[in-house]
Amino acid sequence: MKLKSFFPIMDWLPQYTGDQFKGDISAGLTVGVMLIPQGMAYAMLAGLPPIYGLYASTLPLILYAILGTSRQLAVGPVAMVSLLTASSVGMLAETGSGSYIALAISLALIVGLIQFFLGTFRLGFLVNFLSHPVISGFTSAAALIIGISQLKHLLGVNIGRSHHIHEILLEAIEKIASVNIPTLLIGLGGIALIIAVRKFNRSIPGSLLAVVFGILVSWGFGLTESGVKIVGEVPKGLPSFGIPTFSMDMLGTLLPIALTISLVSFMESIAVAKAVQAKHKNYKVIPNQELIALGAANIGGAFFQSYPVTGGFSRTAVNDQAGARTGMASIISAVLIILTLLFLTPLFYYLPNAILAAVIMVAVFGLIDYKEPIHLWHTDRGDFWMLIVTFVATLSLGIEQGIGIGVILSLAMMIFRSTRPHMVELGEVPGAKVYRNLDRFTDLKKRDDILIVRFDAQLYFANINFFQERMSELIRAKGEHLKAIIINAESIGYMDSSAMHALEEFVKKYKARNIKIFFTGVIGPVRDALNRAHLLDEIGKDRLFMTVQQAVDVIDGEGAPNALNGRLENYTLQTNK
């Protein structure tokens, strides 16, 4: 029991069946075959020699299989995290240099430690602060940046590193004359091949075919002579053990992005893990355990030359479709990569960089989501602008700034919105003993002597002033005849101490003016709070009712004699003080 919760592999390994193995071997091999080109491509995107993408596809997969709660999640290098790695490590060292590689590996350790820490202390909920529009805007912008960053490999020209898309595009146009035609043709061929194969049959590994095509063409026609850049010497053998090191200075620089990577990669991972789990239902994805598993995968990987990894969208989908039943599929993928490292690396000598660029471009352009902004424009203008701001900020200011601004802005908007919640005057639906918003319906019965108000939010320090001011307006509008105020508190989910103070003042003020205050539908936690603050006594226990109608009846004297029976007193007043 205890052991199982630390090592979810114990959930399935002891009952492992041949049937499960049949699914796992097919899925594991399929994903492994996908991983070879993708791993190399994403390593290139991260600014690392391609071999590091294969290194990152070994131990982390096995560690995740042992510790992860998802049985189909395919861990390894992914585009977004590779880009984030390049953008942070690129600030500290020259791309591809020895210290660059060392830093990328240290980054994996830091990311792993952060994720492990977040998981252990059950802080996985932090990822909830990434709202849908922010994720959408951020992902589209990052995909665009990633795609455009591969232009130089596709065109075979030298373009300076930049985070500004327009600069890259301008430079590409300036250098249009020096484009290496064979490189471009190979790249476009790769793209066409991947897309065509995908259209034809999703279970054929198009990117591997593109790799084979690229190698054959560049080797067969001797295209390196014509200036086609190739991967070149790929060292044979497994990643060696090494202790990642970094200075405190570097830690300071790496920490913000490590935190971004931790959360973004967790988010990508948990989203796809949950989506796949929803289909299977024979196990449960536990977010904080997922953080621990991803953390362990990154920490362990960092000691064997791996850069940051996470669970990826596309490979997980393939893994699931190809029949993965347990984490054994991941272990099989890892074994395939290990065999590749041991025996097959010489084959990649002639692999053109343009093919890896093609693999990346096809993968990320699918992430650009143009439908969501259109959808939001029609349904939620605020969230539309949130998406646009995040998108523009990510493109113009940078990856982690973009997501940071998105998160802060969406929280700020949420707070701001809560300061001016929906608050309406109610009237009676004729003959129905039900009360609805007077502004929405024209046929409601409105009375001069009773003000019925509904406040649709928690009542707390940031909106208590709004409540008081709106209340004063409504009361002023009623004029002289007003003898009672009914506050329909159904939708007040919480009240803090600032609200209690203001409410006490409010009740006293209108008591003094001989206007009766009633509360209806007060929910349990709020009743408790009112009681603890002794406000229930100030209001008067005979002023609380289950429904608006009961309060109206009492005001009218109709329910007077045994009103307190009719209103289910126990239910209306009960509190767990």
Nearer to its own copies, 221 or 416 (CB): 416
Among 11, 171, 496, 538, binds its own copies (CB under 8 A): 496
Stretch that binds its own copies, among 70-78, 214-222, 240-248, 432-440 (CB under 8 A): 432-440
CB of 231 to its own copies, least distance (A): 41
Among 171, 388, 437, 475, binds its own copies (CB under 8 A): 437
Residue 501 token pair: 């103070």
For residue 255, state whether it binds its own copies (rule: CB under 8 A): no
For residue 475, state whether it binds its own copies (rule: CB under 8 A): no
CB of 10 to its own copies, least distance (A): 22
Helix (H) or strand (E) holding 498: helix 497-512
Q: Which of residues 353-392 bind its own copies (CB under 8 A)?
A: 375-376, 378-380, 382-383
For residue 120, state whether it binds its own copies (rule: CB under 8 A): no
Among 385, 491, 516, 564, binds its own copies (CB under 8 A): 491
Stretch that binds its own copies, among 15-23, 322-330, 334-342, 455-463 (CB under 8 A): 455-463
SS3 per residue for 503-549: HHHHHHHHHHCCCEEEEECCCHHHHHHHHHCCHHHHHCHHHEECCHH
Q: Distance between CA 266 and CA 115 in Å, rounded?
A: 8
Stretch that binds its own copies, among 89-97, 299-307, 356-364, 419-427 (CB under 8 A): 419-427
**For residue 117, how many C-alpha atoms fall within 13 Å in the half-sphere facing its CB?**
10
For residue 516, state whether it binds its own copies (rule: CB under 8 A): no
Nearer to its own copies, 128 or 282 (CB): 128
Q: Distance between CA 208 and CA 205 in Å, rounded?
A: 5
CB of 272 to its own copies, least distance (A): 14
Instruction: Calculate the alpha carbon distances from 53 to 50, 169, 567 in Å.
Output: 6, 27, 69
CB of 311 to its own copies, least distance (A): 17
For residue 408, state whether it binds its own copies (rule: CB under 8 A): no
First to last CA, the chain: 37
Among 456, 504, 538, 569, binds its own copies (CB under 8 A): 456
Output the furthest CA–CA distance in the chain (Å, rounded).
103
For residue 539, state whether it binds its own copies (rule: CB under 8 A): no
- Residue 485 dihedral angles phi and psi, to the nearest 5°: -120, 130
Total residues binding its own copies (CB under 8 A): 67
Stretch that binds its own copies, among 13-21, 148-156, 189-197, 416-424 (CB under 8 A): 416-424
CA 344 centroid distance within chain: 37
Nearer to its own copies, 208 or 457 (CB): 457
Nearer to its own copies, 204 or 432 (CB): 432
- Quick one: which of 320, 307, 232, 227 has its CA closest to 273? 320
Give the bridge partners for 516, in sequence order. Answer: 484
Stretch that binds its own copies, among 75-83, 184-192, 231-239, 422-430 (CB under 8 A): 422-430
DSSP-derived 3-state class of residue 37? helix
| Region for residue 540 given its phi and psi (left: phi exceeds 0; alpha: psi -120 to 50; beta: otherwise) | left
- Quick one: which of 37, 115, 103, 47 has its CA closest to 76? 37
Stretch that binds its own copies, among 10-18, 318-326, 336-344, 406-414 (CB under 8 A): 406-414
CB of 215 to its own copies, least distance (A): 42
Contact mark string toward its own copies, 121..150, x via CB under 8 A: ----x--xxxxxxx----------------
Nearer to its own copies, 274 or 516 (CB): 274
Give the bridge partners for 518, in sequence order. Answer: 486
Looking at beta carbons, which pairs linking 523-527 to residues 24 or more positions away fall under 8 Å? Answer: 523/489, 523/490, 523/492, 523/493, 524/574, 524/575, 524/576, 525/493, 525/494, 526/489, 526/492, 526/493, 526/494, 526/495, 527/573, 527/574, 527/575
For residue 343, state whether it binds its own copies (rule: CB under 8 A): no
CB 520 within 8 A of CB 550: yes
Nearer to its own copies, 90 or 382 (CB): 382
Nearer to its own copies, 167 or 490 (CB): 490
CB 107 within 8 A of CB 45: no
CB of 72 to its own copies, least distance (A): 18
Q: Distance between CA 113 and CA 190 in Å, rounded?
A: 38
DSSP 231-256: ------SPPPP------HHHHHHHHH
Q: Which of residues 143-202 bind its own copies (CB under 8 A)?
A: none
Q: Distance between CA 174 and CA 166 in Å, rounded?
A: 12
The number of beta carbons lying within 10 Å of the beta carbon of residue 63 is 24
Give the bridge partners for 176, in sequence order. Answer: none
For residue 504, state whether it binds its own copies (rule: CB under 8 A): no
Q: Which of residues 272-291 bind its own copies (CB under 8 A)?
A: 278
For residue 553, state whether it binds its own copies (rule: CB under 8 A): no
CB of 466 to its own copies, least distance (A): 8
Instruction: Calculate the alpha carbon distances from 219 to 132, 209, 230, 253, 563 in Å.
Output: 46, 15, 10, 42, 93
For residue 538, state whether it binds its own copies (rule: CB under 8 A): no
Residues making contact with its own copies (CB under 8 A): 125, 128-134, 278, 375-376, 378-380, 382-383, 410-411, 414-415, 417-419, 421-422, 424, 429, 432, 434, 436-437, 440-441, 454, 456-458, 460-466, 490-494, 496-498, 500-501, 509, 521, 523-525, 529, 532-533, 546, 568, 571, 574, 576
